[in-house]
Amino acid sequence: MKIQILGTGCPKCIKLTENAEKAARELGVDFEIEKITDINKIMDLGVMMTPGIAIDGEVKSVGKVLSPEEIKKIISK
Amino acid sequence: MTDDKNNCCETNAQDTCCSGEGVKTLILACSGGSNVGQISNQIMIELDRSGIGNAYCLAGIGAAMSGFIESAKAARTILIDGCPVACGRKVFEKYGIEPSDYFIVTELGIKKTHDFSKLKEETDKALNALKTKI
């Protein structure tokens, strides 16, 4: 599973990364984290508010720091 | 503060990245093939220029691109359709998005035609009518 964190590196983006790693580890899934920090690439995805998170290329949330529990739910869908 | 954080605060993401819980306003227009469709597009541009929000891609939502859909759900949205056929509204409904503000150009005093020769004056008239409603 590929988890992409969309954000230019602010504390919220870092927190979302930590929460995503925690959620994936606790679910026991194979995963890799990719941090997309280039604002032009982020906007090419249509994302206008950061941080955002995408799972396997599909944007699941923008403009929010999801909790590990919330991320577990979107990973499990 | 890291270099990344500095980059963050110098970008368009600033409003919702480093500076709190601000929500962007996104403006979308049907941009259809009639005078009122093109006026909706021009109104979107004028509202963007006025600093009311950011022009945004209805087509991206229509194309089911997840980043566009999730951004529209998370943002405050102003949706402008040209006529009561309401293609923009139907695209929103398809993906469960409710616009914060919604306007139809034909309800702003402009008759739907395929005459594109009066777009400037019709846009000005519609924009003036719309500004009394925002």
- B45-91 per-position pLDDT tens digit: 999 999 999 999 999 999 999 999 999 999 999 999 999 999 999 99
Whether the per-residue pLDDT at A52 is higher than 70: the answer is yes
A10 is a catalytic site residue: yes
Dist. CA B69–CA B66, nearest whole Å: 5
Dist. CA A6–CA A20, nearest whole Å: 12
Structure tokens at A51: 């941080």
Closest of B89, B1, B57, B67 to residue A62, by C-alpha: B67
Alpha helices in chain B (DSSP H): 3-9, 14-17, 35-49, 58-62, 66-74, 87-94, 119-131
Dist. CA B73–CA A9, nearest whole Å: 23
Amino acid at B119: L
Q: Give A6's pLDDT tier (boundaries 50, 70, 90).
A: very high
Q: Give B9's pLDDT tier (boundaries 50, 70, 90).
A: very low
**Mean pLDDT within B115-134:** 95
**Closest residue in B to A41 (Cα–Cα):** B67
Q: What is the DSSP-derived secondary structure letter of residue B106?
A: G
The CATH topology of domain B21-129 is: Rossmann fold (3.40.50)
In angstroms, what CA-CA distances link B39 with B2, B18, B110? 45, 35, 9
> B71, A62: Cβ pair inside 8 Å?
yes
Q: pTM value?
A: 0.87
Parent domain of A41 = 2-76
Per-residue confidence (pLDDT) for residue A15, from 0 to 100:
96
> B5, A10: Cβ pair inside 8 Å?
yes
Averaged pLDDT score across all residues of chain A: 96
Asked whether the beta carbons of A49 and B24 are under 8 A apart, the reply is yes
Q: Give B14's pLDDT tier (boundaries 50, 70, 90).
A: very low
Q: Tokens 């919702």 map to which residue?
A: B16
Q: Give A77's pLDDT tier (boundaries 50, 70, 90).
A: confident
Q: Give B17's pLDDT tier (boundaries 50, 70, 90).
A: low
Whether the per-residue pLDDT at A56 is higher than 90: the answer is yes
CATH number of the domain at A40, please.
3.40.30.10
Whether the per-residue pLDDT at B103 is higher than 50: the answer is yes
Dist. CA A66–CA A59, nearest whole Å: 13
Query: Which residues in chain B are closer than 8 Å to A64, comparing Cβ atoms?
Result: 74
C-alpha torsion A51→B91→B131→B51, nearest 10: 30
Tens-digit pLDDT profile for residues A19-49: 999 999 999 999 999 999 999 999 999 999 9
Per-residue confidence (pLDDT) for residue B11, from 0 to 100:
39
* Domain count along chain A: 1
Per-residue confidence (pLDDT) for residue B23, from 0 to 100:
86
What does DSSP say about strands B25-29 and A52-55: parallel, antiparallel, or unpaired?
unpaired
Q: Is the dihedral of CA B113, B86, A63, A29 positive or negative?
A: negative
Residue of B8, B12, B23 lying closest to A10 (CB–CB): B8
* Nearby residues of B66 by Cβ (< 8 Å), 6 or more positions away: A46, A54, A58, A59, A60
A13 is a catalytic site residue: yes
Taking the CB of residue B116, how many other CB atoms lie within 10 A of it? 12
